[in-house]
Amino acid sequence: MALDTTAPVEGPRKLRVVHGTCPHDCPDSCALETQVDENGRAVSVRGRADHPITRGWLCAKVNRYLERVYHPERLLYPLRRVGSKGSGKFERISWDEAISEITSRWKQIIAEHGGQSILPYSYAGTLGTVQGGVTDERLWNRLGASGLERAICGHAAEEGVQLVVGGRLAPSPEVLVESKLILIWGSNPASTAPHVMPFLRQAQKNGAQVIVIDPIRTLTARSADQHIQPYPGTDAALALAMMYVMVHEGLHDQQWLDAHTVGWEKFLERINEWTPARAARVTGLAEELIVDLARRYATTKPAMLRLTDGINRHTNGGQTVRTLTCLPAVAGHYGERAGGLMYSTSDWLKWDKQARGHAHETSCPPEPRVLNMNRLGAILTGEADPPVYSLFVYNANPVASTPNVGKIVEGLMRDDLFTVVHELFETDTARYADIILPATSQLEQRDLHKPYGHLTLQYNEPAIEPLGEARSNWDVMRALAKGMGYEDAWLQADVDEIIEELLEASRPQNTSLQGITLERLKADGAIPLALSEEEQVPFANGVFRTPSGKVEFYSEQALAKGYDPLPGWVPEVESHVQEREIVPVDERLPLLCPAAHHFISSSFGNIDTLKGKERFPRLWIHPVDAQKRSIRSGQLVRVSNERGWCRLVADVSEEVREGVLATTTVWWPMFSPDQRNVNWTTSDRLADFNGGSTFYTNLVLVEPSVEP
């Protein structure tokens, strides 16, 4: 049903201002202010000027937020499938009918196959503590549904960081203005964390060098002082050789290493294997460049290493991030203000697990199996035993964003699978649903946000009434719990009650919550975590959060998990990079598919203005590689491998290094040639650590394609 977004408003306007938070998967978690007119309609969404990171502006995507909220294709009512699966034919039903149909199917499935045959599938539609975190746990714990290993994004990296320093503690990005060298490694903040950029610019004005290490000439790389383009998946080799140079030139901090690290001698043996000449062969970089980089990184203080999750989506991604995390230790940068590691701020505050999920209530069945979300296609087509008979998707768009989509679609077509999708739009995933439920946007729901890129806690007050019959995730969970006949009060609490419960239960273990109350959150919208200036410098006291309290080069934990006990480099599983040189074993090339500037994963992929700015799903290919294949710019090309294929539009360009292909993601399949995107080729193989995703370990054949 179309909503009129163009109605003129007459007379002087009395606008109400409502404070909120951007819910999208972005470390900036911007503080929003929404202006609402006398008819209850939002007329503008802006960034709060008084927030230390937002500073009065929003990114290219969320500047268009009202186009998303009032989009003519917003889902407004529950729908039931009437055509065949995937045909996109639905009829309107009431919420009562929808809830009763879902819960009666579930009761039957539980009786026949057990709760584990129901799989909730969700990720980062909203990062809200209630509409995301609590929603991801409570009902599912009570129901005994299969657990979901949420490993699609940064799982391998988190483990890598955890093993070395024991926690995700980064300073707030404002501190970058004091850094003298900023090494941005496999991260593209100009697109993915834009509010970091003004601090980088200021740092450069203050004399800092900004160095970007990325096979692609990203927006961030373009404004850096130096851009280094290694072959993908070889970064650990580069880091080891940097450490080699530091050690052999006496640029490391031996005293600090003796006092604050475990396993240095063993690690040194490995470092000694990595001469710059050897790393040059693996990375495709010049030996002198590696030596020079090592010297500057070791001798410039303070030096900040910025890592995000992009670089971890390889089969060796965990070891890569773990090895990089050792660099600040060898150079003696940990514990310095404006130096060390800037990965994520997530562990400055940890919510009490029981308050969030209530898993230990007596009404909850024993802990169920856990299924890895990266394997969704395999799970639906036979890997899960007992099989999954019902899939409940919310906060996610797997038919666009999950690897090896061809398999997922095959699974979604199963007649014996009952699929429910809770969404704002009829996405490619929703098209395969048996029941679609309409979801609210952030302007229509209440929540609390704990950013992963800075240090304020933020409230989101609803600005407008839900459109149509849209309901928030938590309201849907409450309705489903009732439909299932569950009487537990913790399944019916309202959002503020939950926030209060989380704050109070988490307070004893988190001094960063001191003085932060629901009342203040509601009044101020955004409150800095209670951390003094000194506390905001991670590991300043030389104490790390690992079992030994030190930086762990050698790790018993890693050994116990079956990983290499030491950091190091191994080639990717699908790769031309072998020990001595880059050997083109066949004509296939590695295809990177990182974040697009105007989308967030697949979110915003249906907003015409933003889609227009991304223009088309392109394939960057270096002129040398293009010429070998007779590929010209603007031409449709087919990329394929044993998993599947899709077609992209060639963009012959030196933005990528020779031998590497790139596209940006995530395009909606329905807006792509042949209704398929790059994830028809990406692998559902798991990374070396923690079941992480491996989107960027992807060899493809690329060839010209004729127009259909």
Ligand X SMILES: Nc1nc2c(c(=O)[nH]1)N[C@H]1C(S)=C(S)[C@@H](COP(=O)(O)OP(=O)(O)OC[C@H]3O[C@@H](n4cnc5c(=O)[nH]c(N)nc54)[C@H](O)[C@@H]3O)O[C@H]1N2
The single residue among 36, 62, 388, 700 that binds ligand SF4, judged by CB under 6 A, is 62
Judged by CB under 6 A, the chain residues 420 through 439 that form the site for ligand X are 422-425, 427, 439
Site string for ligand X, 216-255 (x = CB under 6 A): x-x-----------x-xx-x--------------------
Work out how close the CB of 452 gets to ligand SF4 at its nearest, in angstroms, rounded to a whole number: 11
Instruction: Give the residue with the Cβ less far from ligand X, 222 or 360.
Output: 222
Tell how far CA 480 is from the center of its chain: 28
Q: Which pair of tokens denotes residue 594? A: 């990182």
Residue 172 makes contact with ligand SF4 by CB under 6 A: no
Work out how close the CB of 696 gets to Mo ion at its nearest, in angstroms, rounded to a whole number: 13
The H or E element containing residue 102 is helix 95-113
Nearest to 286 by CA among 336, 241, 334: 241
User: Which among Mo ion, ligand SF4, ligand X, none contacts residue 501 (Cβ within 5 to 8 A by kind)?
Assistant: none
Q: Largest Cα–Cα distance of the chain, in whole Å?
A: 76
The single residue among 603, 635, 690, 705 that binds ligand X, judged by CB under 6 A, is 603
The C-alpha atoms of residue 53 and residue 42 are separated, in whole angstroms, by 24
Instruction: Give the residue with the Cβ less far from ligand SF4, 55 or 482.
Output: 55
Instruction: Give the residue with the Cβ less far from Mo ion, 192 or 672.
Output: 192
Work out how close the CB of 55 gets to Mo ion at its nearest, in angstroms, rounded to a whole number: 24
**Cβ atoms within 10 Å, residue 158:** 23
Instruction: Give the residue with the Cβ less far from ligand X, 464 or 537.
Output: 464
Instruction: Give the residue with the Cβ less far from ligand SF4, 598 or 647.
Output: 598
Q: What residues contact residue 607 under an 8 Å CB cut-off, 6+ apart? A: 64, 67, 68, 71
Residue 373 makes contact with Mo ion by CB under 5 A: no
Work out how close the CB of 427 gets to ligand X at its nearest, in angstroms, rounded to a whole number: 5
Work out how close the CB of 693 gets to Mo ion at its nearest, in angstroms, rounded to a whole number: 9
Site string for Mo ion, 149-178 (x = CB under 5 A): ----x-------------------------
Judged by CB under 5 A, the chain residues 420 through 459 that form the site for Mo ion are none
Q: Which pair of tokens denotes residue 8? A: 């003129």
Instruction: Give the residue with the Cβ less far from ligand SF4, 449 or 638.
Output: 449
Binding residues for ligand SF4, total number by CB under 6 A: 13
Site string for ligand SF4, 511-530 (x = CB under 6 A): --------------------
The single residue among 36, 58, 98, 457 that binds ligand SF4, judged by CB under 6 A, is 58
The H or E element containing residue 524 is helix 518-524
The single residue among 130, 213, 305, 650 that binds ligand X, judged by CB under 6 A, is 213
Residue 191 makes contact with ligand X by CB under 6 A: yes
The single residue among 61, 446, 454, 638 that binds ligand SF4, judged by CB under 6 A, is 61
* Amino acid letter, 295: R
* Residue 128: DSSP 8-state: -
Could you write out the three-class secondary structure of 299-359? HCCCEEEEECCHHHCCCCHHHHHHHHHHHHHHHCCCCCCCCEEECCCHHHCCCCHHHHHCC
Judge whether 176 and 339 are in contact, CB under 8 Å.
no
Instruction: Give the residue with the Cβ less far from ligand SF4, 172 or 283.
Output: 172
* Cβ-based burial of 214 (10 A; exposed 0-12, middle 13-18, buried ≥19): buried
Judged by CB under 6 A, the chain residues 185 through 224 that form the site for ligand SF4 are 194-195
What distances in angstroms separate CA 655 from CA 216, 289, 615, 636, one per listed residue?
6, 20, 17, 19
Judged by CB under 6 A, the chain residues 660 through 689 that form the site for ligand X are 665-666, 678-679, 682
User: Which among ligand X, Mo ion, ligand SF4, none contacts residue 28 (Cβ within 5 to 8 A by kind)?
Assistant: ligand SF4
Strands of 430-485 (E only): list them.
Answer: 435-438, 447-449, 456-460
Instruction: Give the residue with the Cβ less far from ligand X, 156 or 636.
Output: 156
Given the rule CB under 6 A, which of 332-340, 491-499, 519-527, 598-606 is the region that contacts ligand X?
598-606
Nearest to 493 by CA among 503, 481, 505, 484: 481
User: Which among ligand X, Mo ion, ligand SF4, none contacts residue 554 (Cβ within 5 to 8 A by kind)?
Assistant: none
User: Which among ligand SF4, ligand X, Mo ion, none contacts residue 110 (Cβ within 5 to 8 A by kind)?
Assistant: none
Residue 24 makes contact with ligand SF4 by CB under 6 A: yes
Q: Which residue has the tokens 């030196």?
A: 654
**Cβ atoms within 10 Å, residue 73:** 12
Length of the chain: 708
Instruction: Give the residue with the Cβ less far from Mo ion, 54 or 308.
Output: 308
What distances in angstroms separate CA 552 from CA 166, 263, 285, 555, one per listed residue?
9, 7, 29, 6
Site string for ligand X, 281-310 (x = CB under 6 A): ---------------------------xxx
Could you write out the three-class secondary structure of 666-692? CCCHHHCHHHCCHHHCCCCCCCCCCCC
Q: Report the DSSP pairing between strands 31-36 and 16-21.
A: antiparallel
Residue 346 makes contact with ligand X by CB under 6 A: no
Work out how close the CB of 124 gets to ligand SF4 at its nearest, in angstroms, rounded to a whole number: 11
Site string for ligand SF4, 598-617 (x = CB under 6 A): --x-----------------
What is the radius of gyration, based on Cα positions, of the chain? 25
What distances in angstroms separate CA 505 from CA 193, 354, 358, 511, one per listed residue?
31, 9, 12, 12
Judge whether 121 and 391 are in contact, CB under 8 Å.
yes
Helix (H, G, I), strand (E, B) or coil at 546: coil
Work out how close the CB of 67 gets to ligand SF4 at its nearest, in angstroms, rounded to a whole number: 14
Judge whether 157 and 311 are in contact, CB under 8 Å.
yes
* Bridge partners, residue 305, by sequence: 183, 341
Nearest to 483 by CA among 452, 516, 437, 525: 437
Binding site for ligand SF4 (CB under 6 A): 22, 24, 26, 28-30, 58-59, 61-62, 194-195, 600
The site for ligand X (CB under 6 A) is made up of 25-26, 123-126, 131, 152-153, 185-188, 191-192, 213-216, 218, 230, 232-233, 235, 308-311, 314, 394-398, 400-401, 422-425, 427, 439, 473, 592-597, 599-603, 665-666, 678-679, 682, 695-696
